Structure 1
Amino acid sequence: MDSGTLAKEETSVMKTLKRSYIQVLYFGLIFLLGSLSSCLVTKKFQAPEYDEPPLFSLDTLSGSGLRVGNYGWRAFFTDSLLRKFIDSTLQNNYDNQIAYERVLQAQSSFKQGKIGYIPTLSLSGQVEHQDLSSAFQFAPSEQYTLSGALSWEADIWGKITSAKRMLKAQFQQSVTAKKLMQTQLVAKTANAYYALIALKESRILLERTLVLRERGLISTIRLFDAGMSNQLAVEQARAQVESVRVMLEENKRSVTMATNTLIMLTGGSLQTMNLGTVEDQRTPETVDVGVPVEALRNRPDVQVSELAFRAAFENFNIAKASLYPTLTISAMGGFQSSEFDKWFTSSSLFNTLIGGLTQPIFMTRKLRTQKEIADSQRREALLDFQKTLLEASTELSNLMESYGAYQRSLLELRRQEEHLSRAFVIAEQLMEYGNATYLDILTAQEALLNVQLSLIQAESNRLQTLVGIYRAVGGGVE
């Protein structure tokens, strides 16, 4: 090929490229002007208001104690065995693993949405061979093509931007939902542990009481044989022994269920030989959750509900923008020749640039229906957020009231235990001097056992309520 021919080919290529650049700038200008109108179609998201919860009383929620929501679970729970159980739960629990997989799924969708502005590009190569019939003869024909295709949709009405924001909200929602799952698992594990140690303490108390009552039954039978007691006392003593045995069986069943709950949560077998006691659990004397509105804002379930509203809001923007024209720009270029040796020459070079504007007219009401449904879903998501906020404030208010009630009940039960312990000693002394019967001993012993069991249960309830408060203000995430 001589220099003149080469120069002509270079000039032809430059003209083709120049024409393509002008066309791209033209359609780019259309996009720029059209994008200015996107603000007239899609709306900017505004976060819902966190109104002051009507059920809260600041003087009962705020104090000078531990602000529980600011502590990680490793710092909040002091029992080393409980920390091991929680750690095992977060590692092995199936619900937590499922939540993690959902985060990965949402993350992949969000990555796709982030590049929604970028054109799609494809490359294809083709060799076509045909045998054409002509006068009972076959004339072979070949075509060699190497082309690239580019397609791009202009975000005139903000549909692509809204789709990106919706996917981002859904991704953040999945991340927050995993935090919600973690707070729930931490609370469930702690509650199951506190229930188990309370049951173990109750069992020790019942076993000790059973030994005492069996000895008392033997003494009553001996007194009856000596003519110093009656059949009523014997039957009462036997009934007291049987009642403790029944409580021990019920305790055994409850221990098995609590242990199985921990096994299910932690995903493995448990070594519960070194369980702590209820009295060993160090907790703050006063509980401070901070400003009520901020406490609710920190809750993962409230955050999930707000993000769901945001996703529904952006989905409505998408449905609304779908009613307007769509501007697409497509470009194709490459080399095409019927001769292999001239495939990659200037004479085989081709390019095409197409700009299209599509306005939906009759879609069997599909797009308008989608818009109406998306609008209803947006309003539904807002109502769900408001409902979640109210339920969260109700729960936290109830938990704070219950915690205070358990604190006061514990003080009363401890005083009651002191009185009944002294009453039991006095009954034994009176019996020695013949001023009391063995029925008086049994009555005092029964009352003391009941208050001691109530004391253990009340302390367990107080601990579980404190865990509920910790979860209710978003605690348990690290």
Structure 2
Amino acid sequence: MGVKQVTGRSSLEIKKLPQLTVCVLGALASAMLVAGCTVGPDFRPPALPEKTTAMAPSVWASTPDDATNRVTGAAIDESWWSSFNDPVLSSLVQRLVKENLDLAAASERVQQAQAARGVAASAGRPHVGASIAESHDRISSAGTANLVSHPDGAPLEYSDWNAGLSASWELDLFGKVRRAVEASDAGTDAAIEARRGIALDALAELACDYMTLRGYQAREAITRSNLTTANHSLSLVQNQYENGVGNKLDVARAKVRRDAIAASLPEILTTEQEAINAIGLLLALPPRALQSELAPVKDLPLLPPEVPVGLPSELLRRRPDVREAEARLHQATAQTGVAIASFYPDVSLNGSVGTEALNFGSLFALPSRAFSIGPTIDLPIFEGGRLRSTLKLRKSQQKEAAIAWQKTVLQAWRDVDNAITAYGNTQERRKDLVLAVSNARDALTAAQQRYEQGSVSFLEIDTAQEALLANEDALEQTEITLRAELVALYKALGGGWQVVG
């Protein structure tokens, strides 16, 4: 038995008679199969601290009792975009699933994770290789050859031919490879959940861009309607002035009102085009590729009368970010096991069979055969603190992953609660703005009638029209906000990614 130093590790190479070797190999293999020892911590699904669990919501917050569109505790709709009853939106979603570049890149990351798993698993499988080589050598007559007996007439130059097969198999008695495979499996799960999260983000972004487009088309219609009203008012004032009833100040005010309304149109048109291009980018299309399809004006999609939100207890198994955080924790736990297993011996079975001859013609002759077989045990003795530092690093990463999971859960609860609250309160704002618009229209009609009768100045019309425009615009923006908040609620609930699997 000899001891050979190999890069800071002691390698105990045991080479005995073939019969003894077979017995040793059989014993090691039996020990591996029977014991199945895997060191390191086993992963268990994480749990929140007791104080957090005690304060966890049992049901979600509710919208106001008089809300037109309310949330319910029914099971969530995984195809939530269909609740808007907009065929164009549903068609865009189907195209998004097939064409989105972020989703395509995320799919490649899943493939990479699966390939990395195969690399990790290969360390625990037998490795077999074949080789054939020829070298031409010359021995120096003035060198070490003088120290040994050299037959007279023996050539100083010769060729050496070698051919053979070699095999090795790491037995993984302490589970180092199995833990590495477990970590890779968890990494694959994390990549899958990350892809689902990207899908959910893309769906929400598409829906919000679509709502913005339809909302700004409605704002454009409102602005053009008010511009028509402003032109009518200007004509009225000019006629009054030409008939000697009005004055230049009223004419100037009417022109200012018309020009101010007209000046708001370019910004609205810009936002419409940006929304179309944003949708095109999500579908991997160049700018204006969807112009003919989306530019025709359509109404804002209707809000569903009820929005099913499920129960808080179901959220953690549905949200991709929570599931990804759990997979990352699993991966970190398995990597801690790899670090612990590094303290234990590595046992591998090695064997080779081949031939060696001084000429190719004798290479495969029976006397040219050679073989070697036996186990190798590598035991770490001194690594300069590398193993301990690695274990400390992995344990810290495991704790960090557990903290990240806990924070992700709290953020998930917060997102849903904030979205429900905003959705309910914005409906209250919409209700008030509907009344304000109605009153502003009545005020403008009354001001126009009184101006035609000569009982008030044009300032009354100008003020009433400004109020109407402001409230109509605010109401339309509120309608856009309501839909964006509903999309945010659907996203917070974690439904919709199922469309990509």
TM-score of the aligned structures, taking structure 2 as reference length: 0.83
Deviation at 1:187, TM superposition (A): 0.7
For the Cα contact (< 8 Å) 1:289–1:295, is it kept in 2? no
Tell whether 2:93 aligns with 1:95.
no
Structure 2 residue 241 is the aligned partner of structure 1 residue 224: yes
Contact 2:135 2:160 in 1 (8 A): yes
**Whole-angstrom CA distance in 2 between matches of 1:154 and 1:462:** 61
Equivalent in 218, 233, 244 of residue 201 of structure 1 = 218
- The answer to whether the 8 A contact 1:127-1:144 is kept is yes
After superposition, the CA RMSD in angstroms is: 2.9
Does the CA contact (< 8 Å) of 2:131 and 2:164 recur in 1? yes
Query: What per-residue deviation string (whole Å, max 9, x for no partner) do you get for residues 170-224 of structure 1?
Result: 1111111111111111111110111111111111111121122122123213313
Asked whether the 8 Å contact 1:35–1:155 carries over to 2, the reply is: no
- 1:84 matched to 2:91? The reply is yes
Give the Cα separation in 2 of the matches to 1:64 and 1:189: 23
Of 293, 296, 302, the match for 2:313: 293
- Give the direction of change, closer, same or farther, for the CA distance of 1:340–1:246 in structure 2 (3 Å limit): closer
Indicate the SS of the match to 1:138. coil
For 1:364, what is the secondary structure of its paired residue?
coil
Partner Cα separation in structure 1 for residue 325 and residue 258 of structure 2: 54
**Structure 2: how far apart are the matches of 1:235 and 1:322?**
86
Aligned-partner Cα distance in 2 for 1:445–1:340: 104
Q: Secondary structure at the match of 2:245?
A: coil
Indicate the residue corresponding to 1:46 in structure 2: 44
Q: Which is further off, 329-338 or 60-69?
A: 60-69
Q: State whether residues 145 and 336 of structure 1, in contact with CA within 8 Å, keep that contact through their aligned partners in structure 2.
A: yes
Give the aligned partner of residue 237 of structure 1. Answer: 254
Counterpart position of 1:118: 125
What's the offset of the Cα at 1:30? 4.7
Find the counterpart in structure 2 of residue 283 from structure 1.
303
* Shift of residue 340, structure 1, vs aligned partner: 5.8
CA displacement at 1:401 relative to structure 2: 0.4
The equivalent residue for 1:461 is 481
d(CA) in 2 for partners of 1:403, 1:53: 27
Which position in structure 1 is the counterpart of 2:67? none
Cα pair distance change 1:57/1:138, threshold 3 Å: closer
How far, CA to CA, are the matches of 1:140 and 1:335 in structure 2?
A: 20
Within the candidate set 331, 342, 346, 1:311 is matched to 331
2:183 to 159, 166, 171: 166
| 1:376 alignment counterpart | 396
Q: Does the 8 Å contact 2:412/2:492 carry over to 1?
A: yes
Aligned residue in 1 for 2:436? 416
Partner of 2:272: 255
Cα distance between partner residues in 2 of 1:180 and 1:59: 22
2:27 corresponding residue in structure 1: 26
CA distance in 2, matches of 1:52, 1:288: 24
Instruction: Using the TM superposition, name which of 169-178 and 267-276 deviates more.
Output: 267-276
SS at the partner of 1:440? helix
1:323 correspondence with 2:343: yes
Which structure has more helix as a fraction of its residues?
Answer: 1
Give the deviation of 1:160 after TM superposition. 1.0
- For residues 55 and 219 of structure 1, the distance between their equivalents in structure 2, rounded to whole angstroms, comes to 64
Paired amino acid for 1:60: A
TM-score by length of 1: 0.86
CA contact (8 A) 1:296 1:393 kept: no
Q: Does 1:146 align with 2:140?
A: no
In structure 2, distance between residues paired with 1:136 and 1:352: 33
Structure 1 residue 139 displacement after superposition: 6.3
Partner SS, residue 334 of structure 1 = strand
Q: Partner residue of 1:58?
A: 59
1:395 to 403, 415, 429: 415
Count of residue pairs the alignment pairs up:
458
CA contact (8 A) 2:84 2:304 kept: no
Task: Provide the identity percentage.
Answer: 25
Residue 188 (str. 1) matches residue 205 (str. 2): yes
Contact 1:61 1:292 in 2 (8 A): no
After superposition, the C-alpha distances for 1:127-182 in whole angstroms (9 at most, x for unaligned) are 45556676576266555543221112222222111100100011111111111111
State the distance in 1 between where 2:353 and 2:80 align: 61
